Structure 1
Amino acid sequence: MPLANLLTSLRELPESGLRDAYLRFLDVAGDAALRRNGGPEHVTGSCFVFSPEFDRVLLCFHRKGQFWVQFGGHVESSDASVAEAAQREAREESGIDDLVLLSPAILDLDRHDLHGGFSCTSHWDVGFAATGDPDVAIAVSEESEDVRWFPINEVPVQAPAGFRARLERARCIAIALPSARMG
């Protein structure tokens, strides 16, 4: 079910080389692509957490990667979809239990190779968005060294290459979602 859901969501995105690469990867890997132990490359779900005004972003300093990034991680067997995995990971890694995705719509795709302390070689990351109250208490999980709100135009330099552009694209798409305008 999660694979069929992901394939449908990917096909709803505008055609692009990256989207098509995801579809080819999933066609070859099948359900194994959604399991951490399904091979050296697999799908992960991530979540950009914005303030309700979309002028701030909550990021974590990833312990293994040693960079500031959105929350995310592997799809677990209990997750009904990659979107659900992204929401669960954002809740676990931020300490904000009531985070809810703005939409199950995909806002970001990012395939990245991994180095150092990672047991897998590549993540095919599928990104979503949520909003959170910057005044609510946050927590640092075992996977991070820090969690902190940043003004959207002051993302730390220790972010992965291309992260700022991805963040701004995800922010623009999130702002345009009907659920973002309901507040």
Structure 2
Amino acid sequence: MVTHLEAHPDGLGRSCPGAHVTAGVLVLSDDHRHVLLTLHAKARRWFHLGGHCEPQDRTLAAAALREGLEESGVPDLVLVPGPLHLDAHVVGFCGEHPQVTHLDVRFLALAPAGAVPEVSEESLDVRWWPVGDLPTESAELRELVAAGVALAQAWSSRAI
């Protein structure tokens, strides 16, 4: 990701051809027992929240938090400091590009107790899932959720 940004001053923008950095956020319930996932309208698959960086985003963490708020409708998300996970994956038809690699920097956020999500225009559905009963067999998502739960527990107890 650093090499990409060194080579492409526009590497955070969706206009950057070939690849661009995106920001994701895994949202867990306050008790770390549920994860908030979105049924993505274009991909028609369940994912963590996230998306493209916008010019007003001062940091990747700010972009991740903004995306989490926009896509979940849940106010008062608490972002855990530092990235949770890094990922590179190919996406078809991203804006003007027929194919692009998303260099995704993923963060962890905790929702307030009793948070009720709202479906955004980017999603077909947004809902809480038990961390042990996800709506997909995706090994990547399962690993991301497991890493998020471990970080949330450590951060909540301030063991890190």
Q: Same fold (TM over 0.5)?
A: yes
Match of 1:42 in 2: 20
Letter paired with 1:113: V
1:128-161 deviation line (CA, Å, top 9, x unaligned) = 011113622311111110000000001112x655
Query: Percent identity at matched positions?
Result: 36
Name segments (4+ residues, structure 1) moved above 6 Å. Answer: none
Match of 1:58 in 2: 36
Alignment partner of 1:154: what SS? coil
Letter paired with 2:25: C
CA offset at residue 36 of structure 1? 1.3
Report the CA distance shift for 1:95/1:81 in structure 2 as closer, same or farther (over 3 A).
same
C-alpha separation between the residues in 1 aligned to 2:27 and 2:148?
10
C-alpha separation between the residues in 2 aligned to 1:114 and 1:107?
21
Q: Flag structure 1 segments of 5+ consecutive residues without an equivalent.
A: 1-21
Match of 1:27 in 2: 6
Q: Flag structure 2 segments of 5+ consecutive residues without an equivalent.
A: none
Select 1:80's aligned residue among 51, 58, 62. 58
**Greater strand share, 1 or 2?**
2
Alignment partner of 1:162: what SS? helix
Greater relative CO, 1 or 2 (CA 8 Å, sep 6+): 2
Match of 1:94 in 2: 72
C-alpha separation between the residues in 2 aligned to 1:173 and 1:109?
15
CA offset at residue 170 of structure 1? 2.7
Alignment partner of 2:27: what SS? strand
Letter paired with 2:66: R
Select 1:118's aligned residue among 87, 90, 94. 94
How many residue pairs get aligned? The number is 155
The answer (yes or no) to whether the contact 1:67–1:160 under 8 Å persists in 2 is no
The answer (yes or no) to whether the contact 2:11–2:21 under 8 Å persists in 1 is yes
**Greater helix share, 1 or 2?**
1
**What is the root-mean-square deviation of aligned Cα atoms in Å?**
1.7
